[in-house]
Amino acid sequence: MFAESSLNVRNKRVQNLFRILFMLMTVLLVVPVIIILGTLIYKGGSIISFDFLFTDPTNGMTAGGIFPALLGTIWIVAVALLASVPLGVMAAVYLNEYAGDNWFTRLIQLAIINLAGVPSIVHALFGVGAFVIFFGFGTSILAASLTLAIMTLPVVIVSTRESLRAVPQAFREACWNMGATRWQTIRRVVLPNAVSGILTGVILEVSRTTGETAPIMFTGAAFFLPFLPQSVFDQTMALSLHLFVVATQVPGVPEDLPFGVALVLIAMVLIMNSISIAFRMYLRGKKKW
């Protein structure tokens, strides 16, 4: 009764084939990551030291550290987050919790999707026109951060909306039935349960913002600056641009320097991601349903 027919055998064989195929693809995915990280650590790991991180570049950037670029990147990312997270979250809350489904919100939706598809170099030129020239911020941290903020806004909006959507509608209705206003419902029930999802969006944004080069090279990041930025209206060095510069623009750079810069850049992203992931897991652990 349970003897294997030839059809059973064939099904099994096909099933195994596909399982192995999918597994191979998954492994293939990890390979580049391992190669990149391995190469960076192998070639640039030796240069990483306390001095490398916390001193200025010297000898026309062929020696010394990367402190101004490191600090500049932190500045740019922080200001960009400050601008885009409140804006994006509030827009997403409006779209998901208040606005109905009509031509206006659909238009906004379309705009957001298109904004996500705009190449970063176009964002860069927009930043030059809008923030550097029109608003008169000059080439500054502020202009660079705002450019990045606009570029990453769709990520924040879309991921926030998704996490708001994941909060069951029944929770809202139960709250409304009690006589709560929309805002009371959002504050007491919806947002607390969407925080972990919103953070995921912020993580994505941080990663992207840290590594972007094109949008900041015209708007605020400098080739070389012998001093640290004092305010958001100053120019600054940034890790991503610094990597580009030492890798291609400056002659006579020792081989391990660009690799070291790249390693620091990746490490920064990874550290920030891990912190956010840890925080997210902590919040998920407290999740209530």
Partner 1 sequence: MVNIGLDVSSMSDSVMTTATEVAHKLEVNNLTISYDGTPALSNVNLSVREHEIFGIIGPANAGKTSFLKSLNRMDTFNSSMSVNGQIRFNGLDIHNLKNIYALRSRIGVVFPLPVGLPLTIYENVALSPRLRGIKKRRELDEIVERCLTRAALWDEVKDRLNSLGSLLSGGQQQRLTIARALSQEPDLLMLDEFSIAVDPVTTMRIEDVLKELKQDMTIILVTNLVQQARRLADRTAFFLEGECVEVGVTEDLFTGQGKDQRTLDYIEGKFG
Residues forming contacts to partner 1 in the complex (CB under 8 A) are 100, 170-171, 173-181, 184, 188-189, 192-193, 287-289
> Rounded to an integer, what distance in angstroms lies between the CA atom of residue 129 and that of residue 136?
10
Q: Which is nearer to partner 1, 116 or 180 (CB)?
A: 180
Tell me the closest approach of the beta carbon of residue 106 to partner 1, in angstroms. Answer: 14
Least distance CB 192 / partner 1 (angstroms): 8
Least distance from C-beta 109 to partner 1, angstroms?
A: 17
CB of 199 to partner 1, least distance (A): 17
* CA 78 to chain CA mean position, Å: 12
Rounded least distance, CB 81 to partner 1, Å: 27
Please give the Cα distance from 199 to 237 (Å, whole number).
27
- CB-wise, 58 or 181, nearer to partner 1? 181
Least spacing, CB of residue 185 vs partner 1, in Å: 9
Q: CB-wise, 86 or 168, nearer to partner 1?
A: 168
Pick the closer one to partner 1 by CB: 32 or 179. 179
Phi first, then psi: what are they for 119, rounded to 5°?
-60, 150
Cβ-based nearer residue to partner 1, 32 or 100: 100
Q: For partner 1, give the closer residue by CB, 81 or 186.
A: 186
